[in-house]
């Protein structure tokens, strides 16, 4: 199970809408106790691809975020990105480029802009599995 604060969810949605028509992305950090993860902070990063079909995180910003996590006693838990026009599930390319089997991959769909949908996935060896995500 993984939990996300409503305020952080709103932050992600606002940033993703702001970046439309392009995909938006970022990192998530918090605490983990076995399979129970609690997201305590979300990071809004630059999509260096500036594309509505692809995203890549900026390594410089990634490094800054990692340092901030450590300074705040948080662990990196994974990343998030938006799908401006497609459902909230990993694409083939998303799966192919998911190299960290311990990470949670959050995908926000803005297909219906007024009703954003977010899901969390565990991706390992090209197979994705939906995780229980609680927004509180």
Stretch of residues binding another protein (CB under 8 A), selected from 7-15, 32-40, 61-69, 110-118: 61-69
CB of 41 to another protein, least distance (A): 16
Tokens read off for 77? 């838990």
Tokens read off for 124? 């390992």
The size of the interface with Zn ion (CB under 5 A), counted in residues, is 2
Q: Does 21 bind another protein (CB under 8 A)?
A: no
Smallest CA-to-CA distance from 22 within 42, 47, 56, 57 is with 47
Residue from 94, 103, 122, 123 that binds Zn ion (CB under 5 A)? 94
Q: Which residues pair with 75 in a beta bridge?
A: 30
What span, in angstroms and rounded, lies between the C-alpha atoms of 39 and 3?
6
Q: How far is CA 48 from CA 1, 56, 59, 97, in A?
A: 30, 6, 10, 15
Q: If contact means CB under 5 to 8 A according to the sort of partner, which of Zn ion, another protein, none does residue 8 touch?
A: none
List of residues contacting another protein (CB under 8 A):
23, 25, 27, 49, 51, 53-57, 59-60, 62-63, 66, 70, 79, 81, 83, 85-86, 90-91, 93-94, 97-101, 103
């Amino acid at each position: 199970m993984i939990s996300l604060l409503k305020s952080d969810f709103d932050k992600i949605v606002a940033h993703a809408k702001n970046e439309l028509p392009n995909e938006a992305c970022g990192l998530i950090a918090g605490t983990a106790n076995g399979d129970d993860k609690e997201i305590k902070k979300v990071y809004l990063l630059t999509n260096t691809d500036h594309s509505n079909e692809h995203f890549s995180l900026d390594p410089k910003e990634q490094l800054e975020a990692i340092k901030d996590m450590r300074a705040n006693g948080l662990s990196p838990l994974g990343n998030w990105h938006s799908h401006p026009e497609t459902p909230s599930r990993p694409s083939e390319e998303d799966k192919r480029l998911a190299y960290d089997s311990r990470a949670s991959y959050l995908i926000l769909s803005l297909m219906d802009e007024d009703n954003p949908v977010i899901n969390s996935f565990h991706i390992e060896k090209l197979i994705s599995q939906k995780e229980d995500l609680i927004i509180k």
